[in-house]
Structure 1
Amino acid sequence: MVSARAVAAVAISVLLAACAEVGPDYKVPPQALVNAPVAQGTFISGATVASDDALPDHWWRLYNDPVLDRLVDNALANNVDLKAAEANLERSDALLALAHTAREPSVAIGASTSYTQQSAQAVLSHVQPPRHEIYDMGVSISYDLDLFGGIRRGIEATAADRDAVVAARDLVRVNVAAQTARAYSDLCNAGNQIDIVQQQIAVQERRLALTRELIANGRAPAFSQDQQRGEIESSRAQLAPLEAGRMNAAFRLATLMGEPPANYDKALLACHTPLQLKAPLPTGDGRALLSRRPDIRAAERHLAAATADIGVETAALYPDIKIGASIGSTGAATSFLSPLTNRFAVGPMVSWDLHRSAIRDRIAAARAQSRASLAHFDSTVLAALRETETSLDNYASALARLERLQSARDEAREVDARTNELWRGGKVGGLAALDAQRTRLAAESAVALAQADVNNDQIATFLALGGGWQ
C-alpha cells in the first residue's frame, strides 16, 4: 500500500510543478497588422509636400507664431476635457494599486462585548439561564499563495487597462492642441478674408462714384449704376458670415482654455495673417506613426488586458490556497485573557470551484474577447494609416491649388500695377484702372480661401500623425 506520507509528497510535488501563471503570456501577435512591413514604410501621398523628418512633439511651433504657442500651452493647462482625462488616470492608478494589494497579507482585527442571557426555551429548559458579560477579540491573518497566477494575471490586466487610460489622456491632448490651432487658424483666415472683402467694397464704391460722374455728364446710361450697387451689396453680404466665423473661432478658443465664451480674448481679433509653415511638413514614416498615435497604443493595451483576462479565468480551474493564522480570546469577562478563553489557529485554507463548465465558458468568452481586441487593434491601425494618407493627399491637392491661384494673383498684381501706371500717365481711363484692381482683389480673395483650406489640411495631417504629447 502507498503510505499517506507518499501521497502527500506527490500532491505537494504536483502543486509546486503547477506553481506558475496559467494562460498565455502576452506579446503583440506576429500576425497583427502593426507588424506588416507595408504599414511601417513611407507614406505614398506626401512625397511632394512633406519630408521624412520626425514630427516634433510640439508641432504647432513649426508655425513660429508666439500667440499660437501661448494659446496651445494655455489650453493644455486648463482644458476641462483634459482635466477629466487626468482624473480618469488618477482613478486607474488607484485601481492598479488596489489590484496590487491582493498580493499582500490580509489582516483583520475584531473586538466586541455584550451583556447576554441565552433563551431557556431554545434549549428546552424551564430554568432561567444565568446572565454573563461576554467578550470576543482577536487578530486574523491570511495570505493567498496565488499558485496558479490568477492574482498576478489580474494585476497584469489592470496595469494594461491603466496604460490604455494613459493613451486616452494623450489622445485628448492631441485633439486639444489640434482644435486650438484650427480655431486660431480659422480666426486669422477670417480676418484676412474680411480685409480683402473690405478692399473690394472700397474699389466698387469708387467705381460707382466714377460711374455716377459719367452719368451726370451724359457719358453712361443711368441704369449702369444699378448693377454696381448690387455688386456692392453682394460684397457687403459676405462680411456677416466672415465676422460670425471669426467670433465663433474666438468663442471656441475661450472654451478650449476652460473659459466661458463671454471671456474670449478680444486682442485675438487683431490677427489678419494666415499661419505659414516655413518648411515642408514633417511626417516621419509609418513605423513612427504607429508607435506615436495614442489610439493605437490604447488598442494594443486593451489587447494585452484581454489576453491577461484569459489567465484570470483559467486560474479558476485550479484550487485557491491560502495560509491563515488567528489569535484571540473569547469568553466571559470574568475570565478575560485566561487560558480558558484564549484561542489560536494556524493552517491552510483551500477553496475550489468544481463547476467546470461555467469556468470553461468564461475562458471561452475571454478568448473571444481577445480575438475581438486583436481585430479592433488592426482596425485602429488601418484607420490611422487611412487618415494619414487621406490628409496628406488632401494637403497636396490644396497646396497645388494654392500655388496656381498664387500665380494667377501675381499676374493680376502685375496687370494692376501696369494699368495704374498707364492711368497715372493719362493713357487709360479710371474705369480700366478700377477693373484691374477688382480683378486683382478677386484673385486675392481666391488665394485667401485656398490658404484657409491649406491650413485646415495641415492641421488635419498633424492630427492624423498623432503629434502633441511627450
Structure 2
Amino acid sequence: MNRGPVIGQHVRLNKPVTSSGLCRALPLLGALIIQGCTSVGPDYKEPTAEVASQWSDSDNDLVADQAALDPQWWNNAFKDQDLDRLVNAALGQNLSLRSAGLRVLQSQQQLAIAIGNQYPQEQQITGSAARQELQNTISNNYNVGFNLSWEIDFWGRFSRQIESASAELDSSVANYDAALLSLVSQVAQTYFQIRTFQQRIDVARQNISLQEQSLEISRRKFEAGQVSELDPDQAESIVYNTRASIFELEVSLQQLKNSLAILLGTPPQSQNRLLTQTKALPDISSTVALGIPQDIIRRRPDIRIAERQLAAQSAQIGFAVSDLYPQLSIGGSIGSTAPQRNQLFESGSKSWDIFGMFEWNVLNYGRLKSNIRLQDALFQQLLVDYQNTVLQAQGDVENSIVAYLKSHELLDAYQQAADASQRAVDISLLQYREGEITFNRVINTLLSNVQQQDLLSQAKGNVATSLVQVYKALGGGWEIRNNRDPVDLLPASLKQDMRERVDEWDGVLQ
C-alpha cells in the first residue's frame, strides 16, 4: 500500500532505467530550482543615530570644520623624521596588527564556506569490492557510483548565511583598521612621552648645575665665616634630591622604551639604544581640521565594526525564520553493480535514481519561534550598541578637542611661570652672593624652579599627546591602507610559511 509524504522523511522518485524517465525528471528539478528561490526574514537597512550638527569648540582658532583629514597626520602635523620612521617600522613588524590581518583571512574563508553551501552539499564518488562464501558458493560483488544531494536555497537560508558572513568579513576588515589606528596612535603617544621624559631629565640636570652653583657660593661664604655650615648642607641636600629624581625619571623612560620596542614587534633588549639622543618636543600651533560630527560615522573603525555586526545579525534573523519552512532537497545517484569487474560497465549493470524530499519541523514551532525572537533581541541590542558607539565617539572627539585646546593655554601659563622662576633664581643667587638675603630665600627659588621647569616640560609633551588623541578620536590614519586587502599587507615570509605548511594556500596567498 502506497503512502503519501511523511514529515521528516525522504521522498524518493524511483524510476526504471529508461532514458525517457530521466529526461522527464531533469526539467522538473530545474523548474523547482528556478521557481523556488526567495529570502524570508527582514532585509537589512542601515541604522540611524543621533549626531550633533557641529563640535562645541568649532569657533576656536586652533580648529576648523574642514573635512580634509590627512591620512598621514603623524608626519604632517609633527614633521618628525624619527616618529615617521618608528610608525613605518611598527606597521611592518607589529604582531597585533598581523594577528588582525590573519583574522581577516579567517573571515574570508568563512565567507567562502558559506558561498560553497549554495551548491550540492553531497558529491561523492563511491566504489567497493566484496567477496563472499555462502554454502560453499563463492560470490563476488563490484560496485562503482556517484551520489549527489542538494538542499535548494528555497527560503534563502544559505543566502542569509552568505549575507551574514560577508558582513562579518567587513567587520574583520574594520577591526584591522581599528588595530592600525590604535597602533599608530600608541607609537606616536609613546614617542612623545619618551621625548617628554628626556626633556624632564635634561631640565633636572640643568637645575642641578644651578644648584651646584649655589652650593659653591654657600661653601665659599662658609669658609669666609660669613654663614654657618647650615647653608652648604642645605644646598647639598637640594642637589642630591634632584639627582634622585633623575633616577626615577630614568626608570619611567626605560619602561616607555620597552613599550615602544614591543609596539615595533621587537624584544625590549634589542632597543636599548633606541632614541638615545635627547630631542626637543615640537612646537605645535597648527589648526586641526575636524570636519563635521557626521564624518566620524564613516571614518571611525569602531563605528563601522558596530554597523557591520548589526548587518550580520540581521541576516541571522532571516536564517532563523527559514527554519519555520520545509527544507527542500533534490538528488540522485548513478552507478553500476556486477559480479565481475569486466561487467561493471555493461548496460545491464547500470542503475540510477533521482529523488526529491522535504523536512519540516512542524512540531518544534515553539522552539523555532523562540529562536527567532532571540535573534531579533540580539539585533535590537546591537542596534542600541551601535547608537551608543556613535554617541561615545562624539564624546571622545569633544573630550580630545577640549584637552588639546586647554593644553595650549596651560603651556602658555607654565611658560610664563617658568620664565619668572628662572629670573627669580638668577636674582636670588646674585643677592645671596652680595649678602642681601638669607639662603632660605635661595632654597625656595631653587625648589620652585625645579618644579616649574618640570611642569613646563610636561606641558609641552601634553600638547603633542593631546593632538595625537584628537586624530585618534577622529578616526584618522587607517586610510593609509589605500583600500588594499589587509591579507595582502601580511609579510611575504609569513605567507610563505603558511604555503609550505599547507599546499591548499597556493593560489590564495599571493
* TM-score relative to the length of structure 2: 0.79
Contact map agreement 1:321 1:348 (CA 8 A) in 2 = yes
**Aligned with 2:88: secondary structure?**
helix
Residue matched to 1:460: 469
Residue matched to 1:116: 131
Task: Note if 1:57 corresponds to 2:66.
Answer: no
Contact map agreement 1:55 1:467 (CA 8 A) in 2 = yes
Residue matched to 2:292: 285
Task: Note if 1:386 corresponds to 2:398.
Answer: no
Return the letter of the residue paired with 1:68. Answer: L
Closer, same or farther in 2 for the Cα pair 1:200/1:430, shift >3 Å? farther
Shift of 1:417: 8.1
Aligned residue among 210, 220, 241 for 1:203: 210
**Aligned with 1:348: secondary structure?**
strand
Separation in 2 of the partners of 1:16 and 1:140?
22
The equivalences for 1:68-147 within 5 A come to 68-106=83-121, 108-117=123-132, 128=135, 130-147=137-154
Separation in 1 of the partners of 2:182 and 2:356?
54
**Aligned with 2:453: secondary structure?**
helix
Contact map agreement 1:391 1:464 (CA 8 A) in 2 = yes
Contact map agreement 1:99 1:158 (CA 8 A) in 2 = yes
**Aligned with 1:340: secondary structure?**
helix
Return the letter of the residue paired with 1:75. Answer: A
Shift of 1:411: 4.5
Report the more deviating stretch, 282-291 or 317-326: 317-326
Separation in 2 of the partners of 1:27 and 1:111?
46
Separation in 1 of the partners of 2:316 and 2:283?
49
Shift of 1:107: 5.7
Separation in 2 of the partners of 1:215 and 1:173?
62
The equivalences for 1:295-374 within 5 A come to 295-333=302-340, 335-354=343-362, 355-374=364-383
Closer, same or farther in 2 for the Cα pair 1:367/1:434, shift >3 Å? closer
**Aligned with 1:317: secondary structure?**
coil
Task: Note if 1:41 corresponds to 2:86.
Answer: no
**Aligned with 1:212: secondary structure?**
helix
% of aligned pairs identical? Answer: 27
Contact map agreement 2:131 2:138 (CA 8 A) in 1 = yes
Residue matched to 1:449: 458
**Aligned with 1:378: secondary structure?**
helix
Separation in 1 of the partners of 2:206 and 2:183?
35
Closer, same or farther in 2 for the Cα pair 1:382/1:97, shift >3 Å? same
Separation in 1 of the partners of 2:454 and 2:283?
17
Task: Note if 1:251 corresponds to 2:258.
Answer: yes
Separation in 2 of the partners of 1:414 and 1:212?
23
Separation in 1 of the partners of 2:130 and 2:118?
39
Shift of 1:91: 0.6
Report the more deviating stretch, 136-145 or 439-448: 439-448
Return the letter of the residue paired with 2:231. Answer: S
Shift of 1:205: 0.7
1:403-432 Cα offsets, whole Å, 9 max, x none, are 111233344566778999x99xx9999999
**Aligned with 1:20: secondary structure?**
coil
Shift of 1:210: 0.7
Report the more deviating stretch, 329-338 or 232-241: 329-338
Separation in 2 of the partners of 1:388 and 1:415?
40
**Aligned with 1:109: secondary structure?**
strand
Separation in 1 of the partners of 2:236 and 2:422?
25
Task: Note if 1:236 corresponds to 2:243.
Answer: yes
Shift of 1:322: 2.9
Separation in 1 of the partners of 2:375 and 2:213?
76
Contact map agreement 2:428 2:437 (CA 8 A) in 1 = no
1:327-376 Cα offsets, whole Å, 9 max, x none, are 11123225322233211123433332323222212111111111111111
Residue matched to 2:7: none
1:235-260 Cα offsets, whole Å, 9 max, x none, are 11210121112111211111111110
**Aligned with 1:231: secondary structure?**
helix
Separation in 2 of the partners of 1:278 and 1:453?
13
Shift of 1:86: 0.7
Residue matched to 1:270: 277
Report the more deviating stretch, 253-262 or 41-50: 41-50
Contact map agreement 1:188 1:272 (CA 8 A) in 2 = yes
Separation in 2 of the partners of 1:284 and 1:87?
33
Separation in 2 of the partners of 1:433 and 1:281?
43
How many residues end up aligned between the 2 structures? 442
**Aligned with 2:188: secondary structure?**
helix
Report the more deviating stretch, 237-246 or 90-99: 237-246
**Aligned with 1:349: secondary structure?**
strand
Return the letter of the residue paired with 1:134. Answer: N
1:67-100 Cα offsets, whole Å, 9 max, x none, are 1011011101110111111111101001101111
Residue matched to 1:22: 40
Shift of 1:180: 0.7
**Aligned with 1:43: secondary structure?**
coil
**Gaps in structure 2 of 5+ consecutive residues:** 1-29, 480-510
Task: Note if 1:183 corresponds to 2:201.
Answer: no
Separation in 2 of the partners of 1:260 and 1:160?
36
Closer, same or farther in 2 for the Cα pair 1:418/1:356, shift >3 Å? same
Separation in 2 of the partners of 1:154 and 1:26?
13
Separation in 1 of the partners of 2:395 and 2:35?
49
* TM-score relative to the length of structure 1: 0.85
Contact map agreement 2:421 2:445 (CA 8 A) in 1 = yes
Separation in 1 of the partners of 2:253 and 2:282?
15
Report the more deviating stretch, 451-460 or 239-248: 451-460
Report the more deviating stretch, 86-95 or 388-397: 388-397
Closer, same or farther in 2 for the Cα pair 1:435/1:202, shift >3 Å? farther
Contact map agreement 1:192 1:273 (CA 8 A) in 2 = yes
Separation in 1 of the partners of 2:361 and 2:136?
43
Separation in 2 of the partners of 1:461 and 1:236?
36
Closer, same or farther in 2 for the Cα pair 1:65/1:344, shift >3 Å? same
Residue matched to 1:66: 81
Return the letter of the residue paired with 1:368. Answer: A
Q: Over aligned residues, Cα RMSD in angstroms?
A: 3.0
Separation in 1 of the partners of 2:442 and 2:242?
20
Shift of 1:459: 2.2
**Gaps in structure 1 of 5+ consecutive residues:** 1-11, 121-127
